[in-house]
């Protein structure tokens, strides 16, 4: 999987609603159900799911985009990296073409719930730039919308 890249040409695109985890899972399901689909791109925070064929090529420089094959093996050892990359790409602190390990996309699904909770905390709006910094301050902040 790669951060900041999209597959082109796009064979289909749709706007999906739900949590980040639901959007990514749903996008992959759409790809599995679409003849000829081999790659997905999800652009956060809009929830834009894009499907591409196996012969598609990568276009770089798209902040908030995560591109991956339609399926991959389980990879728990990548969860921390997935968490950090997800957090960083949404807040603009990762170079658009930073490559992620090929197994990252699946670990990404496993840790999205934790990312969603962390991304909703006030401190992320202040531009913290690392996973570890966010975790260290987790107990010191109040979630957005909570007085």
pTM of this structure = 0.52
Domain presence at residue 134: no
Contact predicate 70/40, CB 8 Å? yes
Could you tell me which of 136, 137, 109 has the C-alpha nearest to residue 123?
137
Cis peptide before 32 (omega within 30 of 0): no
Domain presence at residue 126: no
Give Cα 62 distance to the centre of its chain.
12
Q: Residue 37 is part of which domain span?
A: 2-117
CATH of the domain at 85: 3.50.4.10
Least reliable range by pLDDT among 18-22, 46-50, 94-98, 143-147:
143-147
Least reliable range by pLDDT among 27-36, 39-48, 59-68, 92-101:
92-101
- Give the tens place of pLDDT for each residue, 53-90: 999 998 887 888 888 777 754 453 355 456 555 555 44
């Amino acid at each position: 999987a790669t951060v900041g890249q999209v597959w082109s040409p796009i064979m289909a695109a749709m706007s999906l609603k739900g949590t980040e985890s639901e959007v990514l899972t749903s996008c992959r399901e759409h790809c599995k159900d679409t003849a000829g689909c081999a790659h997905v791109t999800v652009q956060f925070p809009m929830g834009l799911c894009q499907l591409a064929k196996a012969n598609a090529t990568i276009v770089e420089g798209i902040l908030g985009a995560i591109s991956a094959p339609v399926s991959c093996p389980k990879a728990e050892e990548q969860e921390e990296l997935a968490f950090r990359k997800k957090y960083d790409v949404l807040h603009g602190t990762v170079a658009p073409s930073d490559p992620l390990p090929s197994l990252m996309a699946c670990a990404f699904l496993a840790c999205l719930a934790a990312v969603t909770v962390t991304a909703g905390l006030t401190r992320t709006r202040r531009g913290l730039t690392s996973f570890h910094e966010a975790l260290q301050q987790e107990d010191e902040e109040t979630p957005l919308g909570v007085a």
